[in-house]
């Protein structure tokens, strides 16, 4: 506490920089150009935070007042934006403060089956008997101590994320990757997991996911728009796009669309052959801490 009192301007500056970081997360996903501008903004904020970190200002009445005002502004901003951070319900919801192994086993099998059905109804291709990153737990009836509670949170988040891709009618959902939270995950398929960890600060917990899918340009835009309009705290922090290789699961998919462009009088028509894209999204789920 003594250090904080002596460095209130630095602490206040950090708090304000964190507020700017959170605000930058609300960029408009419907425009890749705006995404790029938001990314530049994040870089500037990181630079500002690093610059603040190099200063050791002494406490003064002016510094104290500025730090308190910045913290007040941040708290006010958080109260106004809570509607964008609606918590995602865990599956199953805990009863009596805990999730039992039997409850989670039943909920997991039911949720995977429902997601597979939703995928088929939306014409989104999946790998055969895809388990949505829960291959290690799919056949279990008993789980590592303490893990059903953590896994239920992830299952709720994976379901919410997957349904965004179904609603956007992408061509194929190739995979969802999550963090390892259970000893059982050590026996899982490597492609189900991220070698990363959640980030926690005084305001929120940020949990990363990585999703790979195949789609055409309009469907990619739909995915970004649906993340932007979601009531949950989703932040797309990265996107990689490359031409997709036509793999075996895509053999029965609809043919690549051909768009005919108007031609000048007496000239040949120009046909645009739109290419299927393979896209990887890095998404953070933002969960405000209870005191916020």
String of b and e for 239-268 (b: at least 16 CB within 10 Å)? Answer: beeeebeeeeeeeeeeeeeeeeeeeeeeee
Of 82-86, 90-94, 244-248, least confident by mean pLDDT is 244-248
Residue 160 contacts residue 167 (beta carbons within 8 Å): no
pLDDT in tens, 127-181: 999 999 999 999 999 999 999 999 999 999 999 999 999 999 999 999 999 999 9
CATH fold group of domain 101-264+274-288:
Alpha-Beta Plaits (3.30.70)
* Residue ranges covered by each domain of the chain: 2-84, 101-264+274-288
Question: What is the Cα–Cα distance from 168 to 190, expressed in whole angstroms?
Answer: 27
pTM value is 0.67
- The arithmetic mean of pLDDT across residues 269-287, rounded, is 83
Cis peptide bond upstream of 240, omega within 30: no
DSSP 8-class letter at 50:
H
Which is more confidently placed, 81 or 202? 202
pLDDT of 64 reads 77
């Amino acid at each position: 506490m003594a250090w904080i009192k002596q460095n209130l301007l630095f602490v206040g500056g950090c708090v304000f920089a964190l507020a700017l970081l959170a605000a930058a997360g609300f960029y408009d996903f419907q425009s890749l150009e705006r995404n790029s501008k938001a990314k530049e903004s994040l870089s500037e904020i990181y630079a500002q935070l690093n610059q603040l970190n190099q200063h050791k200002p002494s406490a003064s009445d002016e510094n104290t007042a500025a730090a308190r005002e910045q913290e007040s502004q941040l708290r006010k901003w958080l109260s106004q934006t809570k509607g964008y951070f609606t918590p995602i319900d865990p599956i199953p919801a805990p009863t009596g403060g805990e999730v039992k192994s039997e409850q989670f086993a039943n909920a997991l099998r039911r949720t995977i089956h429902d997601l597979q059905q939703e995928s088929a109804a939306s014409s989104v291709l999946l790998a055969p008997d895809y388990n949505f990153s829960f291959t290690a737990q799919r056949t279990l009836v008993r789980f590592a101590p303490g893990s059903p509670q953590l896994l239920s949170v992830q299952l709720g988040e994976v379901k919410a994320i997957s349904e965004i891709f179904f609603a956007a009618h992408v061509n194929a959902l190739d995979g969802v990757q999550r963090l390892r939270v259970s000893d059982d995950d050590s026996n899982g398929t490597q492609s189900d997991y991220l070698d990363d960890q959640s980030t926690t600060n005084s305001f929120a917990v940020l949990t990363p996911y990585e999703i790979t899918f195949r789609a055409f340009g309009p469907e990619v835009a739909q995915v970004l728009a649906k993340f932007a309009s979601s009531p949950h705290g989703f932040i797309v922090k990265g996107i990689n796009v490359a031409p997709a290789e036509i793999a075996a699961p895509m053999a029965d998919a609809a043919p690549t669309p051909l768009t005919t462009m108007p031609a000048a009088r007496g000239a040949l028509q120009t046909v645009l052959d739109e290419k299927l894209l393979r896209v990887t999204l890095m998404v953070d789920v933002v969960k405000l801490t209870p005191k916020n």
